[in-house]
Structure 1
């Protein structure tokens, strides 16, 4: 299962960085000394006094490229600030391809090659990409496994914390804004629900599924579930509707039923990126992290 693109995602891959890494937030990042694609020798100590972003990535992953592009965009907004980005790959054989990817995207990040996987082991890298933010004193601020939809928000927040622009409370407020449910929210959710049913009646299935998906975004799982069920009554083999129904079931806490229908959707869907992501969340909730990793890859 190889993901071509990840557009839809809601939560971090793992609930806490220690699930994916050998080090936890606030601990000293392990030292490293690696050769770059330019033949230079670089060490973590070379970046002391700067906020350092390390991205472990693979050349055959679209989501790795997206993470690099996000880091590039954020770095462009931080000109004049002590922030550096380092990219790390594990296969010397892919160095030329990696150099081309960076060049084609106008990225001048140092490219380090960890061919013996020493750094990978020291940092406990299990997921690609994995992005780590290290503060000026060499302490891990936090990490981002994979490349969720919230990647740019998280990376920007972690860097700002490392720079001292926000504290822990400010970071928490940035990453987890509390939104009260208002009468307007309920009216919008009801409108989306009614609209999805109307689209089903008109046999406009794509529009119906989109409206039902928006009900999930509005945290209205019951309404979304009803809408997806109506769509599936008329188009039982719709993998998009099956995936949506699985998402709604997962939101309601029915993990086993969600996995069952998501498995079915994954088999039927020629582009199952979203389906596998939802399966990953389901297995993560169930506590089967090995299976979750398999789905997220």
Structure 2
């Protein structure tokens, strides 16, 4: 379990450090998520119940996203004391743990190893969290035997990398470009030869309008598979089109399409280039081809571009 330091809206700091020997229960939340008030009430009741049994442990909620602090200020003092809520407006804990959804519950033992993690608010979310806290605290006799236990075992570097990529995609979908770029740049620093990470970063740079950086990255990368080569060409064309270099972008996309002929993104980008050049018929053909790939149609559309 990685160390982290966060504060509540009043500035009181909570530190999770490896020198401590207390069980940690962590619930990662996001302001505005479905059933949030109900989940917080359930968590407050759960914490109070365990502490009334004499259990000594840390259990905190981490409210993530830009609206975190405002939401927490609206919570009453009694609720904050029962189940302490911390603000994480920059998704720091998401990055450290590779979280891709809220809510996500985590239980770490006194040895700082993650014993359980579960994402998604289902019927067994609170019950599972309670059962795993009970287990970690050595109160096994009180655990709910009907709760299905899922232990986090896949901690390989590949799995961790995939989680970070998913986090970056989630941040990008929310328009949090800088945070998404930071996540992928961390992975690049850890493994500079990871082609998939470089290409993922290149696409995010294009979406963020950082065109020159995207071109530089896509030019430097050395993909091996035809699909990765096509993706590299796509990034260069995408950035080029956004910089007004339409002829060069068209050339790159025409080179990319035979390498990955089922790529809806390449066809769509080709349509954008033709549209910008005023070639309506070719633009429509490319857009139709992209839609055909998205919806799995077998129509032979846009064959002049294929």
Band of TM-score, shorter chain: 0.3 to 0.5
TM-score calculated relative to the size of structure 1: 0.43
TM-score calculated relative to the size of structure 2: 0.42
